[in-house]
Amino acid sequence: MKKITLLFTAAICFSTAMSAQTNASLQLAKGQKYQVDNKMETSSSTEMQGQTMETKANIASTYSIVVNDKTGDNYNLTNTISRIVMNMSMMGNEINFDSDKKEDMSGQMGEGLKDYINHPQNVVMDQSGKIINQPGTTDSSASQIAKQLNFAASGYGAQMTFLALPKNVKPGISWTEKTDDNGITRTTNYTIKDVSGNIATITFTGTVATDTKMQQQGMEIATKTSGKFSGEEKVNSKTGVIQSSNTVADASGTVSAMGQDFPTSSKVTSTTTVKTL
């Protein structure tokens, strides 16, 4: 399980979508439904006791999002993780998981995720796209896998789905977003590359630094890394609904455990598509 922890620690910094808090407002229709498909490929290398531990993983997740209502400046959503598929390779060992398979849900991985898959979550998001509540973050019984994947940080898929743009949408407009949350500091620079009809193509670059700690089987694991990311996404400029998004990120630093520092580096590629149902 410690190897899995190191892999997710390297990847989680980039697994949530970047969200710009501009003066623009999302325009979402009551009753609208969305299907969000995210695919994340990760590779990491960690030096441990003179050996290099290479790990790779492909993680595919599907979310269902329903816009229930708007109260004041906030949208009330019901978001559900409907499927997770993971294929991981660590030091010659293969780990495969598919939440659609009963036998996988009965195993260790499934036990850690059973309270999240196909369990609707009530998410409150303001009209700029910021998640007001993070359901599940105060649940002390949450499994280590669920805590590491940190579904709540992305609003159970909401920040992969919506991006409020400046009101004057035209090529060349740029803005910067800075966030600092739970030991993860991120700066994102956005530029509107092109506008075709209601679809705006947005490019982004940025930096991210982590300084986090977690408990794993009674052992504290501390992570300090810094990295950069870049990507492009297509957004409906009228509603703020993302149609597609692609991100490439890399980072390096140290993972500390048992009184030792282990150099680590990682690369993450993430692709998201959103379908209006």
Whole-model pTM? Answer: 0.83
Which structural domain range is residue 201 located in?
2-276
Query: 154: pLDDT confidence band, cut at 50, 70 and 90?
Result: confident
The DSSP call for residue 38 is: E
> CB of 223 within 8 A of CB of 210?
yes
Count how many domains the chain has.
1
Question: Which residues sit opposite 86 in a β-bridge?
Answer: 59, 97
The predicted-structure confidence for 156-210, as pLDDT tens digits, reads as follows 889 899 998 888 889 999 988 887 777 788 899 999 999 999 999 999 999 988 8
Query: Three-class SS of residue 2?
Result: helix
pLDDT at 199 (0 to 100): 96
Higher per-residue confidence, 8 vs 74: 74
The 8 Å CB, 24+ separation contacts for 93-99 are 95/4
Six token digits for residue 7: 């892999």
Higher per-residue confidence, 35 vs 114: 35
Query: Does 19 have pLDDT greater than 70?
Result: no
First-last CA distance in the chain = 38
Of 182, 170, 129, 152, nearest to 23 by C-alpha is: 129
| Alpha helices (H) along 76-160 | 102-105, 108-113, 144-149
Query: Does 235 have pLDDT greater than 90?
Result: yes
The DSSP call for residue 173 is: -
Query: Does 43 have pLDDT greater than 70?
Result: yes
> CB of 273 within 8 A of CB of 248?
no
Q: Which CATH number covers residue 166?
A: 2.30.230
> CB of 218 within 8 A of CB of 225?
no
Span 242-262, mean pLDDT?
A: 87
Query: Does 270 have pLDDT greater than 60?
Result: yes
Q: Considering Cα of 269, then 165, then 20, then 277, what sign does the dihedral take?
A: negative
Of 218, 220, 227, nearest to 259 by C-alpha is: 220
pLDDT at 94 (0 to 100): 86
pLDDT at 205 (0 to 100): 95
Of 84, 164, 81, 170, nearest to 118 by C-alpha is: 81
Lowest mean pLDDT among 15-29, 40-54, 165-179, 226-240: 15-29
Higher per-residue confidence, 34 vs 216: 34
The predicted-structure confidence for 80-110, as pLDDT tens digits, reads as follows 999 999 998 877 788 899 999 999 999 888 8
pLDDT at 18 (0 to 100): 44
Residue 30, amino acid = K
Place of tokens 């410690």: 2
